Amino acid sequence: MTRQTRMEAAGRWALAFPAIDRLKFVALLRGSAWVLVPDDVPMLLHEGDVCVLGRTTYTVASHPEAMPVDGEALYEAGCDVAHLGGIETVAIGGTVSFTADCADFLLDMLPGCMMVPQSSRASGAVATILGLMSSEIERAMIGGDIVSARLADVLLVEAMRAYAGRVAAAEPGWLGALSHPRIGRVLRAMHNDRAQRWTVAQLASLAGMSRAAFSAEFTRHVGQPPLAYLRTWRLTLARAALRRGDADVASIAASVGYTSQSAFGHAYRRKFGSSPRSTQRS
């Protein structure tokens, strides 16, 4: 968790924020607020609701038609609390950043906006954490920043779990796919044994489906065919290992399932536009 913020507002207001390579949550502790993201209908948050935002611009507002101002400007120079005329609405926010190695993979897989209403069946843990966070803010005791940051980390994870559980059967997407009884089993196998020389037939058998049905269902949920996803996952892990200097190129290639260093280099250049060795030297 890189930063936690708070907003207190009353009357008519709106704050706009740019798209950044990070995950951000907005949680309502009091009142209500609208969240607006491009190409989607405005969403009204009530007390206890949480919205997780990916790589998208967004606006938080008292009314959907309110003219927004630059929200980031209110949090400059280390200021973590924005005061907008009162305390009718109180919200907290948190931001999680990723290393450059993983940011593209994770953010490309996640939707731009994930709503977790308090009324959803899976939001019990979210409500408990929000209560603890609110209490911690009000207590203002020594170590409060550390406790609040850890609670914010857990809140983000629980909110994404709740969202995944709520949309798994209804909407396509990577989080829903992880919760899917068949596709999730395949994803976990890919992640746990990335060096395995997986074939579509093997993966379909693991899912208990025919090859055609499995490929179609996997692509519908994840957004790309099984072996394309596996290749992206392997190369993302390889790039991270190269930047850390974990081993030489050949060893890293083998660790992610490539028996040929030249095949690994070709796939790597096609994906990232540079060679494995240039990444290792940077």
pLDDT, tens digit (0-9, with 9 covering 90-100), for 128-144: 888 887 777 777 667 66
Query: pLDDT-derived band of residue 147, with 50, 70 and 90 as boundaries?
Result: confident
- Judge if 42 and 155 occupy the same domain: yes
Span of 37-46, 86-95, 162-171, 253-262 with lowest mean pLDDT:
162-171
Biggest CA-to-CA distance, the chain? 64
Give the residue numbers spanning the domain of 206. Answer: 175-281
Torsion of CA 158, 151, 85, 141, to 10 degrees: 160
- Judge if 89 and 62 occupy the same domain: yes
- Judge if 95 and 151 occupy the same domain: yes
Q: Which two tokens stand for residue 48?
A: 């206890």
Q: Give Rg (Cα) of the chain.
A: 21
**pLDDT higher than 70, residue 2:** no
Displacement of CA 173 from its chain's centroid (Å): 12
Q: Which residue has the higher pLDDT, 123 or 125?
A: 125
Residue 164 carries which side chain, given as an amino acid letter?
Answer: A
- Judge if 154 and 197 occupy the same domain: no
pLDDT in tens, 182-226: 999 999 999 999 999 999 999 999 999 999 999 999 999 898 999
CATH code for the domain in which residue 123 is found: 2.60.120
The label of the residue with tokens 């005791």 reads: 141
- Judge if 238 and 145 occupy the same domain: no
The pLDDT of residue 112 is 85
**pLDDT higher than 90, residue 166:** no
- Judge if 146 and 257 occupy the same domain: no
CATH code for the domain in which residue 240 is found: 1.10.10.60
Q: Which two tokens stand for residue 121?
A: 């069946």
281 phi and psi angles, rounded to 5 deg: -80, -20
Residues 6+ apart with CB under 8 A from 216: none
Among 167, 199, 228, the domain boundary falls at 167
pLDDT in tens, 171-180: 667 877 887 8
**pLDDT higher than 90, residue 162:** no
Yes or no: say if 219 and 81 are a contact pair by the CB < 8 Å rule.
no
Report the percent of the chain where pLDDT is more than 90.
Answer: 48
- Judge if 217 and 180 occupy the same domain: yes
Q: Is the pTM of this model over 0.85?
A: no
Nearest C-alpha neighbor of 214 from the set 185, 182, 187: 182
Task: Locate all alpha helices (DSSP H) within 110-258, ordered by sequence.
Answer: 124-139, 144-167, 174-179, 183-192, 200-207, 211-222, 226-244, 249-255
Mean pLDDT over each residue of the chain, to the nearest integer: 87
- Judge if 137 and 162 occupy the same domain: yes
pLDDT in tens, 30-88: 999 999 999 889 999 999 999 999 889 999 999 999 999 999 888 876 678 889 999 99
The pLDDT of residue 107 is 80
- Judge if 159 and 248 occupy the same domain: no
Among 148, 167, 186, the domain boundary falls at 167
For 29, the 3-state DSSP assignment is strand
- Judge if 42 and 139 occupy the same domain: yes
- Judge if 153 and 64 occupy the same domain: yes
The label of the residue with tokens 């989607």 reads: 40
Q: For the residues of 70-138, what is the DSSP string, one character each?
A: EHHHHT-TT--EEEES-SSEEEEEEEEE--HHHHHHHHHHS-SEEEE-TTSGGGHHHHHHHHHHHHHHH
- Judge if 154 and 240 occupy the same domain: no
The count of structural domains within the chain is: 2
Yes or no: say if 279 and 270 are a contact pair by the CB < 8 Å rule.
no
